[in-house]
Amino acid sequence: MNQASPSLFKRIFNTAFFSAGILMALIIILLFGTSSKTVAAEAKKPFRILLITGGCCHNYVFQAQALKEAMEKVVKRAAVDVNVVNEGGTGTQYVAPLYDDPNWAKGYDVVVHNECFADTKDPNYFRKITRAHYAGVPAVVIHCAMHTYRSATEDDWREMLGVTSKRHDRQVKFSVKIDDLKNPIVKGMPAEWNPTASDELYNIDKLWPNAKALASAVSVESKKTYPVVWTNQYGKARVFGTTLGHGDTWKDPIFTNMLSRGILWAAGDLKK
Ligand SMILES: [Zn+2]
């Protein structure tokens, strides 16, 4: 019976070791190559925003432009694509045909609600919107979105917002206290922020259980403290909200920077 010499063992061992090494290298190249391709593909895709706006009381053309410019400063991807749906005139009621398509939010990274239709109240209508968000479409809600569907008795929209509000103070200057300076959305903001413009402080009757206040302000009228910036979880969707943004607050870079970071956060794109 022939016995294999020690040098034969060594050769076999070396060959096996060499082959395993090549295999490992191939796996690493394959994995690393695929993940960098995915990252590169993601970076080439534009950041897509659907902005729903229009209705009573505000300059939505100016606000849409301010939002786009603010996003261009923070988005790391190749482009920012804002689809502005500015419909409904300047009244307090509107039913948008957009929502008749059950896939109305498909393809967008985030939907921003900056509309103002307090007297539209059909729950079958606004549930077409809340249903999509509950299923996972990230939402950002600004200022008069909090009084949109205010006349409705059903709470679906308010649960999505994360707050219930029925009125606001008259327009005055007020300071904003940042409640959670560690939160990545408001990190770096002055702990006691004095916005450059006057605004309307929305009176918050209820902060919903999944909502968390990030900043608050004291009413000059009632002396009560109300959240003005918050995050919410609605079903599978992240929601970012602020009641600021009536008029010239949109010219304050601290506001637009916070808003754009909130939009990134809702979409899952905010790097800490
Ligand atoms: Zn307003």
> Could you write out the DSSP letters of every residue in 39-52?
HHHHHHS-EEEEEE
- Ligand 1 centre and the CA of 24: distance in Å? 61
Average pLDDT in the 167-187 region?
97
- Ligand 1 centre and the CA of 237: distance in Å? 26
DSSP at 118: T
**Confidence (pLDDT) at 20:** 61
- Ligand 1 centre and the CA of 200: distance in Å? 6
Give the bridge partners for 84, in sequence order.
51
- Ligand 1 centre and the CA of 55: distance in Å? 11
**Confidence (pLDDT) at 22:** 55
- Ligand 1 centre and the CA of 58: distance in Å? 6
On the question of pLDDT at 143 being above 70, the answer is: yes
Q: How far apart are CA 32 and CA 59, in angstroms?
A: 48
Counted residue by residue, the chain has a size of 272
100 and 132 Cβ atoms separated by less than 8 Å = no
Q: Name the band, by pLDDT with cuts 50, 70 and 90, for residue 96.
A: very high
Q: How far apart are CA 153 and CA 222, in angstroms?
A: 25
**Confidence (pLDDT) at 175:** 98
CA distances from 8 to 2, 3, 5, 14, 94 (A): 12, 10, 5, 10, 85
CATH topology of domain 47-267: Rossmann fold (3.40.50)
Share of the chain above pLDDT 90, in %: 83
- Ligand 1 centre and the CA of 162: distance in Å? 19
pLDDT tens, 66-78? 999 999 999 999 9
Amino acid at 80: V
Of 231 and 15, the one with more pLDDT: 231
Q: Global pTM?
A: 0.86
Strand, helix or coil at 166? strand
Average pLDDT in the 149-166 region?
98
- Ligand 1 centre and the CA of 268: distance in Å? 28
pLDDT tens, 31-58? 555 555 566 666 789 999 999 999 999 9
Whose CA is closest to 99, among 131, 142, 70, 62?
131
- Ligand 1 centre and the CA of 250: distance in Å? 12
**Confidence (pLDDT) at 33:** 54
- Ligand 1 centre and the CA of 144: distance in Å? 6
Amino acid at 89: G
Sequence-ordered alpha helix ranges (H) in the chain = 6-44, 60-74, 123-134, 156-161, 253-267
- Ligand 1 centre and the CA of 134: distance in Å? 27
- Ligand 1 centre and the CA of 172: distance in Å? 11
On the question of pLDDT at 4 being above 90, the answer is: no
On the question of pLDDT at 116 being above 80, the answer is: yes
- Ligand 1 centre and the CA of 199: distance in Å? 8
Angle at 257 between CA 110 and CA 52, to 5 degrees: 35
**Confidence (pLDDT) at 43:** 72
74 and 41 Cβ atoms separated by less than 8 Å = no
- Ligand 1 centre and the CA of 146: distance in Å? 10
On the question of pLDDT at 2 being above 90, the answer is: no
236 and 138 Cβ atoms separated by less than 8 Å = no
- Ligand 1 centre and the CA of 59: distance in Å? 10
**Confidence (pLDDT) at 271:** 81
Beta strands in 179-257, from DSSP E residues, in sequence order: 192-193, 202-207, 212-218, 225-234, 237-242
Q: How far apart are CA 233 and CA 113, in angstroms?
A: 16
Of 2 and 203, the one with more pLDDT: 203
- Ligand 1 centre and the CA of 108: distance in Å? 27
On the question of pLDDT at 15 being above 70, the answer is: no
- Ligand 1 centre and the CA of 77: distance in Å? 32
- Ligand 1 centre and the CA of 23: distance in Å? 63
**Confidence (pLDDT) at 44:** 80
On the question of pLDDT at 1 being above 50, the answer is: no
191 Cβ neighbours under 8 A, 6+ residues apart: 177, 178, 181
Strand, helix or coil at 183? coil
- Ligand 1 centre and the CA of 143: distance in Å? 7
